[in-house]
Amino acid sequence: MNSHKSILQLAKSTIETESMAISNLGNLLTNDFAEAVELIYNSKGRVIVTGIGKSAIIANKIVATFNSTGTPAIFMHAADAIHGDLGLILEDDVVICISKSGNTPEIKVLIPLIKNAKNSIIAITGNPESYLGLQSDLVLNTYVEKEACPNNLAPTTSTTAQLVMGDALAVCLLELRGFSSKDFAKYHPGGALGKRLYLRVGDLSSQNQKPAVQKNTSLKEVIVEISEKMLGVTAVLEGEKLIGIVTDGDLRRMLYKNFDVNGVTAKDIMTPNPKTINLNAMAVDAKERMENFGISQLLVEDNGLYCGVVHLHDLVKEGII
């Protein structure tokens, strides 16, 4: 069995091989890349990304990146395309074809069909002099000296280069479109990243109970309120005005000090001027505020009125933390 040392050496060699190939990609960029970005940006259609084998898997990922950053895209498997899926391509669509060799049989059948329909073709290939490279309108060179595979066979370095070239296209298009964090949130409403950009404190606090006592509320009632509302805290009010907070930690510290509980009211044990956050603040701001003060709850207010509680657990549940 190989030793841990030899395994780690092989892993390091793999990473270094791929890293060097990616670093060299910048040297392979030509005006074709800039023209490809402009072609996609100015297109009235979608981007159809196609490939076969491992290149098809990379094509799928590039499509996902395009769609999530404002460039409409569809994946089309090169083999399926020549057996009926060619109808996916509409008049104004731009086709990106990915192939390391650029000479696979499916590609040689597919490219003339796309050209006959007069769709523009962008090649992502490691061989610009291949059939694909010579027949395409624009060529993005992803040549790699060798695969990370010890036998120089399994697609490793080459597919990484294809992926990076796709990311470069997506980022350039994102910048041209002025794609903002609000746009990102629109395309990622269900993900943790999107939630960081659109989820507000009020969205969380509205799902919680709203513990509150008046300043003259007895200690027993304070304990009951904290226990029933299950947030480990209660706001202390004077009428409708927020004046303090009592946490379960405050109760424990009071008992630890052998505090005489007879006649004790909320105002006697509360912490005045509690840490608050506005109802309309972003949830991620609540996270930062909790971290800065080393606390697990914030009282929520709006125009000076107490609105509820946002808890650390709410942020964890939504993936903000």
Helices in the chain by DSSP H: which ranges?
4-28, 31-42, 54-68, 78-81, 105-116, 131-135, 157-176, 181-187, 192-198, 201-205, 219-229, 248-256, 266-269, 283-293, 312-317
- Could you tell me if 92 and 45 are in contact, meaning their C-beta atoms sit under 8 angstroms apart? yes
Measured CA to CA, the distance from residue 139 to residue 122 in angstroms comes to 6
Flag whether 77 is marked binding.
yes
**Cα atoms in the 13 Å half-sphere on the side-chain side of 32:** 21
End-to-end CA distance of the chain: 41
DSSP annotation of 152 reads S
DSSP annotation of 88 reads G
The two tokens of residue 223 are 């304990």
What are the start-end ranges of the E strands in 222-261?
Answer: 233-238, 241-247
The two tokens of residue 288 are 């930062």
* Coil, helix or strand at residue 56: helix
- Could you tell me if 65 and 176 are in contact, meaning their C-beta atoms sit under 8 angstroms apart? no
The two tokens of residue 182 are 């609000």
Q: Which residues are annotated as a binding site for Zn(2+)?
A: 77
Q: Binding site, residues?
A: 77
